């Protein structure tokens, strides 16, 4: 762990000694939230990020936005949406963007006036509760770490994302921020993921699973075996090893793995969801019998389509930095980008950073 880990702690409580927070002990919820948005990040341009921002304002009355990007262009678009955005939008001018292929070190040297860096800076300076960007992932991590610092005991940030599960959603980390990791880092991911989801669930501690090639305790690499030992000796609600097909079963709330595996799993799940959506839509536009049958189960099918749509799960919290930063998919459309902003609202309202820090101190 980092050198600033809490001093004076030895070992971890044994498994099973945690307490779930009762409904009457729910974490506090804030109503008004201000989010800084990088309007130049992503693959699809200003039109998509601004449209997504307007959609988020429509859905969330307590939301205020700091839109970071070319001031004149933003002002023209938001003027046309005056009824939605009136009094809840401020514009921070920044005309430069960081290319998607720029390395993090070069971005730190050359991108200080970019829309991405300026967006993160809004959180550091206290004007915004959270930052959202669909831009260069490495640069976003580098600037978040540089400007916001790390939480106590955390060496490197990790990306976490939602996926649909049988009884709601499951959270997966890491998604590619850390490719080769040791057992201590996997344990750190488990702590971060559990603390973040605890905050977002209003105080209820989630079940944590460690992704492995089998559920048997004898399976897996030395790294995974050691990580399982560390997690099981902690105060986390550890469900043990889970396999790939268990991720979506609803048996756990948080799945922990290294960034290589997590990235492959996430993109594979998104590809499969896209295929299923395409097949379902094709079936719904088929012959008369198919259309009549589809009409009978329309509500169920619409719910299935919504749950499978990757846009509904867009937004990856960058965990471990001392501030709320959400990474949106670079290819996100307006609905997906809007959901990333709404995730930032959700995390801010639950005071997620304070909850993560509290749990980190309690664990070391």
Domain-by-domain residue ranges, the chain?
Answer: 28-161+182-249+313-363
pLDDT at residue 289, rounded to an integer: 61
Return phi, psi of residue 159, to 5°. Answer: -95, 135
Instruction: Say what the pLDDT of residue 167 is.
Output: 79
CATH architecture of the domain with range 28-161+182-249+313-363: 3-Layer(aba) Sandwich (3.40)
Q: How high is the pLDDT of residue 361?
A: 77
What pTM was computed for the model?
0.81
Q: Which residues of the chain have pLDDT under 50?
A: 1-25, 27
Alpha carbon of residue 351 to chain centroid: 15
- The reported pLDDT for the residue numbered 267 is 81
Q: How far is it, in rounded angstroms, from Cα 225 to Cα 212? A: 9
Predicted local distance difference test score (pLDDT) of residue 257: 94
Query: Residue 303 class from Cβ within 10 Å (0-12 exposed, 13-18 middle, 19+ buried)?
Result: exposed
- In this prediction, residue 10 carries a pLDDT of 31
- What local confidence, expressed as pLDDT, does residue 186 receive? 94
In 13-49, which positions are buried (b, 16+ CB within 10 angstroms) versus exposed (e)?
A: eeeeeeeeeeeeeebeeeeebbbbbbbbbbebebebb
CB atoms < 10 A from the CB of 332, how many? Answer: 24
CA-closest candidate to residue 3, choices 115, 104, 150? 150
State the pLDDT at residue 4. 37
């Amino acid at each position: 762990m980092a050198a600033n880990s809490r001093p004076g702690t030895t070992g971890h409580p044994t498994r099973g000694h945690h307490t779930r927070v009762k409904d009457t002990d729910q974490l506090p919820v804030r109503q008004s939230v201000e989010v800084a948005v990088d309007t130049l990040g992503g693959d699809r341009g200003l039109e998509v990020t601004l449209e997504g921002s307007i959609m988020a304002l429509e859905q969330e009355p307590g939301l205020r936005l700091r839109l970071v990007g070319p001031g004149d262009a933003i002002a023209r678009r938001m003027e046309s949406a005056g009824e939605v955005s009136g009094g809840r939008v401020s514009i921070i001018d920044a005309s430069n963007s960081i290319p998607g292929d720029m390395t993090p070190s070069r971005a730190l040297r050359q991108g200080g006036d970019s829309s991405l860096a300026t967006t993160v800076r809004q959180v550091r300076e206290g004007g915004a509760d959270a930052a959202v960007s669909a831009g260069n992932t490495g640069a976003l991590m580098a600037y978040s770490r540089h400007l916001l610092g790390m939480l106590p005991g955390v060496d490197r940030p990790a990306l976490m994302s939602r996926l649909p599960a049988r009884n709601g959603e499951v959270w997966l980390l890491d998604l590619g921020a850390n490719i080769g990791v040791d057992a201590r880092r996997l344990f750190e991911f488990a702590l971060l993921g559990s603390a973040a989801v605890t905050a977002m669930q209003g105080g209820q501690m989630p079940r944590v699973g460690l992704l492995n090639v089998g559920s048997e305790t004898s399976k897996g690499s030395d790294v995974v075996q050691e990580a399982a030992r560390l997690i099981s000796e902690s105060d986390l609600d550890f469900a043990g090893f889970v396999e790939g097909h268990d991720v979506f079963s609803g048996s756990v709330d948080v799945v922990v793995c290294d960034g290589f595996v997590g990235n492959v799993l996430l993109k594979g799940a998104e590809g499969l969801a896209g295929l299923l959506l395409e097949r379902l839509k094709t079936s719904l536009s088929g012959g008369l019998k198919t259309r009549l049958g589809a009409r009978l189960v329309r509500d169920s099918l619409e719910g299935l389509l919504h749950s499978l749509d990757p846009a509904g799960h867009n937004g990856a919290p960058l965990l471990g930095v001392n501030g709320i930063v959400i990474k949106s998919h670079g290819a996100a459309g307006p609905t997906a980008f809007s959901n990333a902003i709404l995730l930032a609202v959700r995390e801010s309202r639950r005071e997620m950073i304070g909850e993560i820090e509290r749990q980190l101190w309690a664990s070391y």
